Each structure stands twice: as C-alpha cells, then as structure tokens.
Structure 1
Amino acid sequence: MIEDDILAHALACAPAECCGLVVGDEYVRCRNVASAPESSFEIHPDDWSDCEDKGEITAVVHSHPGGVPFLSEADRIAQCRSGLPWWLVCDGAVHKFRCVPPLLGRKFEHGVMDCYTVMRDAYHLCGHDLPDFDRQDNWWANGQDLYFENMADGGFVRLGDDAEILPGDVFLMCLDLAGQNVPKATHSAIYIGNQQILHQRPNALSKRDVFGGFWQKITHSTWRYQKWQKSDFTGILNDLAASSNSR
C-alpha cells in the first residue's frame, strides 16, 4: 500500500524529514536536499523531473518528525504554488490536505466560495473534514434553515450565552446576500482570538474583521466543534501567516 511505503520511508529518514511524490498508485521516494533536512525539505529537481516522466504527480509527501500534524507556514506557501494535495507524515499517520485556496483574499461566489467554504477549508487545514451542502441563493427565504440543519450533524454543539469563546469557535450570524439583517442564521465566522473573526461576507473578499459593533449585533449563536483540540488552531494560524508573508 502507498501509505505503508510512505510510513516506512519516514521512519528510515528520521530525524530528517522524508520527501517523495505520489505518481498514479505509486509512492516514489525522493532525496531531501534542504540545507536543514531535520526541519525542512526540498525535493531534488532530478527526482521531480523523473517522476514527471513516469506520469501525473498527484500528491507531494513529506514528514514532520517530532513535529505537529499541520502544514507549516512555508508548507502552505509551497502547496499553493504547486496546486497539489500535500500529504504529511506525523505521529505514525499520513495526514492528507487538499490544496485549498488561501483563507484570506478569496473572491465571493455564493455556494462555491463563501463563508461556509472558508469555514470548511479552515477546519480542513486543522485536520477536520466538515460535510459540504448545497446552498442556493436566498435559501433562507424558501423555508430552509441550512446552518441549524447541518451544524449538529457536522459535529458542532451550541454554546451557552455565558461560555468562554475560544479560537476556533464559530459564530453564526443573520446576514443575507445583500448584507441585510435577516431572522435566520445565514452566515458563519470563525473566532481567531484578539476580538477578531475570519469570514467572507457577501460580495467581498474573505478577511479578518473586528468582532464587535455590527458583527456582534447580528450574531445569532456560538458553536464549538466537539473534536476540537487547542493545538488544531495551528493549521489556521499557519495559513494566515502564509497569506500575509507571500504578498
């Protein structure tokens, strides 16, 4: 199996990072020519070229010996440039990350690249895969209540009004595509600490905003992912840092 080959390679290379490429249904071991292989990796260009000659490269693989199971800031910059899924070996497991766009600066397209997409992709970078669901324009006016229908099924629990809000918690807000307050929860935002949220408001780029004033006023409820660990937030922080430092 591919994953067995990857785990064996990672074990053989430790404490240095292993690296390789998935080509079709085969894992190809590559040489790590980074100047500091115990903390970074760089695939030998000849190895990459040889893999391209073999067939389509479908994933980039490397390991974090003794590290954390999230893509680093440098990993995210390189992954977005590659446009490929990246597989990360850590703690004896292979963690697979789709090449999601940077969380900041996304162009809005309802149902495709919107507030729930930001939320879902952010959680994916933290190691959690949330379900997707169809979002038609003005669904809230057609008798649907998509967030309440999907939050609990997606593994979230609603917090009480007096609960401490932690980074990674999700605010549901009442906001329609025209930016107007509506009775139902139609918008999501992730709390990222320091009174800030990460979200994508209708017809605007995804961004950070201060959680106060208008946004606090239209907040409907607060939710926490049941499997969330404090360290998971590293996945979001690394992406935000990558976005800031790659511009």
Structure 2
Amino acid sequence: MIIDDCLQFATESEQEVCGLILDNRILVRCRNVHNEPDKNFRIHADDWKIAEAVGNITAVFHSHPGDRLVLSANDRKMQLKMGLDWWLASGNRLRIFKPVPHLLGRHFEYGVTDCHTLSKDVYHLCGIDLPEFNSVNEQGWWLKNENLYLKNLPLNGFYEIEKSQLEPFDIILRTPFHGGNPSHVMVYLGDNRVIHHDCAGNLSRREPLRPAHWRTTHSLWRHKQCSDLNLAGIYEDILAMSI
C-alpha cells in the first residue's frame, strides 16, 4: 500500500527523504540533493525525468524528521509554484496537503475564497479536513431562513463553548447582517487575534478581536479533535509569502 511505502521510506533516514507520487498509487523514491537535507529537500532532476517517463505525477512526497506534520514555509512556497498535492510523513503519520491559496490577502469570491473556505483551509493546513457546507439557496442563504453553520457545525465535529473557554482554533460565529442568520466565521488564533475574510471589500486578514466583533457574535464552537491542530501551519504559510 502506497501509504505504508511512504511511511517506511521516511523511517530509513534521519534527514528529509523525498519522492514523487504517480497516479496517486505509486511512490517513486528520489534523491534529496539539497545542501541542507536535514531541514529541506530538492529532488534530483534526473529522478524527476525518470518519474515523468513512467507515469502521471500527481503529488510530491517528502518527510520531516521527528514529529512535525505541517508544511514549512519553503514547502508552501514550492507547493503553490507547482500546484500539486504534497504528501508529508512525520512521526509515523502521513498527511496529504492540497495546494490551497495563501491564507492572507485573498480577494473575496463567494464559494471560492470566502469566510468558510478560509476557515476550512486554516484547519486543513493545521491538521484537520473539513467538508464543504452546501447551501440549498447558495448565495444569500443568510437572508432566506437557512442556518448553514448552525446546521453543519454540530454535524462535523463541533460543539458549542462559552466565551470564557475560548482557545486557539475555536470558531467565532457572527451575525454581521441585521435581520439575517449567523453567516460569518472567524478562527481564533489566541492573544485576542483572529483570522477571517468578510465580504465588505476587504482581503482575508489577521486582526485583533474588537468590541464590534463581540457585539455581533452569535456563538462559539470547538472541534472535538482540536488538540490535533498545529498553529505552525498558519504561521509557516504566512512566512512563505515573504520568502
């Protein structure tokens, strides 16, 4: 099984190992020719050519020594250049990362880069995959008696908490439109800061929690597997934008 092949390969070196995934079912082992192989990797050009001749490259595989199952800033920079899934092995676990856009600086497009996709991508980069929340009425559901978040959060591993319990990765659900349903989510980062994306012409961003946010807060939610999440996934992605 390909996952077992990847995990076995990762255990064979104390440095980063690397390879290419063909058709999501075959691992082609490659040579790491980076000059700092303990913390980075570069696939030998000849190995890449050989893999291309054998099949369709659908993903890049590499490992992190120790237990560090998040993509580094360099990983994210190269992943987005390639536009491929990246398979990462670390601590005898394997995770598949999609080439989601950088978390900050996104332009708002409903259903593509909005507050839900941002929160979903935050969780993805940090260790948990969330499903798409489908809307019957699509855009404007928050004014059409549809409670998309209140319906789907409990169905997908979230439970409601009190403000005094707020911790990183908790979801802040707000009602930003007068007379509408709760329709905007922010992800709490700790230290009174959130990451979110609203539709008021703003880019996705980090910012302090303000009194105005609390005045429109409907409820707070925590995922039952929140202890599996790693904030480094967010900060490595932000760092990748500057290198």
Q: Give the root-mean-square deviation of aligned CA atoms.
A: 1.6
Q: Secondary structure at the match of 1:162?
A: helix
**Distance in 2, Cα, partners of 1:29 & 1:218:** 52
**Shift of the alpha carbon at 1:28?**
0.4
**Distance in 1, Cα, partners of 2:107 & 2:50:** 36
- Whether the aligned pair in 1 keeps the contact of 2:145 and 2:181 (CA below 8 Å) is no
**Shift of the alpha carbon at 1:2?**
1.5
User: How do residues 47-126 of structure 1 correspond to structure 2 at under 5 angstroms?
Assistant: 47-126=47-126
**Cα separation, partners in 2 of 1:81 and 1:157, compared to 1, 3 Å:** same
User: How do residues 41-52 of structure 1 correspond to structure 2 at under 5 angstroms?
Assistant: 41-52=41-52
Code of the aligned partner of 1:169:
D
**Shift of the alpha carbon at 1:230?**
7.1
TM-score normalised to the size of structure 1?
A: 0.91
**Distance in 2, Cα, partners of 1:111 & 1:182:** 22
Structure 1: gaps spanning 5 or more residues: none
Structure 2: gaps spanning 5 or more residues: none
**Shift of the alpha carbon at 1:116?**
0.4
Q: 2:20 — aligned with what? A: 21
**Distance in 2, Cα, partners of 1:93 & 1:187:** 33
- Whether the aligned pair in 1 keeps the contact of 2:123 and 2:229 (CA below 8 Å) is no
TM-score normalised to the size of structure 2?
A: 0.92
**Distance in 1, Cα, partners of 2:223 & 2:4:** 31
Q: Secondary structure at the match of 2:133?
A: coil
**Shift of the alpha carbon at 1:213?**
3.2
Match of 1:151 among 150, 153, 161: 153
**Shift of the alpha carbon at 1:171?**
0.5
Q: 2:216 — aligned with what? A: 218
Code of the aligned partner of 1:46:
D
- Whether the aligned pair in 1 keeps the contact of 2:143 and 2:181 (CA below 8 Å) is no
**Shift of the alpha carbon at 1:198?**
0.6
Q: Does 1:207 align with 2:187?
A: no
**Distance in 2, Cα, partners of 1:197 & 1:181:** 22
Moved over 4 A (4+): none
- Whether the aligned pair in 1 keeps the contact of 2:68 and 2:90 (CA below 8 Å) is yes
- Whether the aligned pair in 2 keeps the contact of 1:181 and 1:218 (CA below 8 Å) is no
**Distance in 1, Cα, partners of 2:123 & 2:229:** 12
**Shift of the alpha carbon at 1:72?**
1.3
Code of the aligned partner of 1:198:
I
Code of the aligned partner of 2:191:
N
Aligned residues: 239
**Cα separation, partners in 2 of 1:114 and 1:37, compared to 1, 3 Å:** same
**Distance in 2, Cα, partners of 1:226 & 1:217:** 26
Deviations 1:158-179 (A, max 9, x none): 111332x22211110112xxxx
Code of the aligned partner of 1:152:
P
**Shift of the alpha carbon at 1:106?**
1.4
**Shift of the alpha carbon at 1:97?**
0.9
Code of the aligned partner of 2:209:
F
**Distance in 2, Cα, partners of 1:172 & 1:241:** 27
